[in-house]
Amino acid sequence: MTDSATLKTMAGEAALAHVEDGMRLGIGTGSTAEAFVRVLAGRVRDGMKIVGVTTSNRTEALCAELGVPTETLETVPELDLTIDGADEVDASLRLIKGGGGALLREKIVAAASERFLVIADASKKVETLGAFPLPIEINGFGMIATYLAIRKAAAGLGLEGDMILRRSGDEPFITDNGHLILDASFGRIGDPEALSHALFAVPGVVEHGLFLGMANTVILAGDDGLETLEA
């Protein structure tokens, strides 16, 4: 059985085949995206010219450490390709993302890209989204009211389950944009589009981890090799 780190490197190497010299490249957050950055850095050292726009302070620091040049989305507001990981993906290329806490920036960067390529190990492919708790980014002001409104909105779709405030050690986890995250264990999400609309209707919800109709290509690395899904 192939170990997780090797699978992530396999996916990262496969993603590199989609990167062309001169590209404006969105670079995601999380362990699989970091595996891609390490592969990309080797190509940059060999002379490839790209400019990266990262989705988190963590990825920005890794790029700086490895010599991958970056700009901000303010200076490079239109991107050719974004490469990022996912926590779950279904056959329709709908995703749950945000396990690394960067869902807001990840969605903004992906939306600014002409193409969005997702890389993951094969265990992330699911029949129905929802086994992985759905991250919901919220404003700290009125968080209890927001929590209750989210529960009510989910219940209207037949969804129930624990919603836990994400923590970092003894303190609440704070995103790069200064928000909090609720991890919602709703179980099987039969209608992700309806849940997305319901969550966005709740004042205090900044973003959620359902990425719907965004991914163009998904590359999954498993014991049997690579599987590519196209939208």
- Residues labelled catalytic: 106
Rounded to whole angstroms, how far apart are CA atoms 10 and 5? 9
Q: Residue 85, SS3? A: coil
Helical H segments across the chain, by residue range: 4-16, 31-45, 57-66, 103-111, 143-155, 192-200
The DSSP bridge pattern shows strands 225-230 and 217-222 to be antiparallel
Residue 35 · residue 9 · CB < 8 Å: yes
118-149 burial: b if 16+ Cβ within 10 Å, else e: bbbbbebbbeebbebbbbbbbeeeebeebbeb
Which residues lie across from 54 on neighbouring strands? 27
Radius of gyration, alpha carbons of the chain: 17
CA–CA distance from 159 to each of 25, 162, 231 (Å)?
37, 10, 27
Rounded to whole angstroms, how far apart are CA atoms 186 and 209? 13
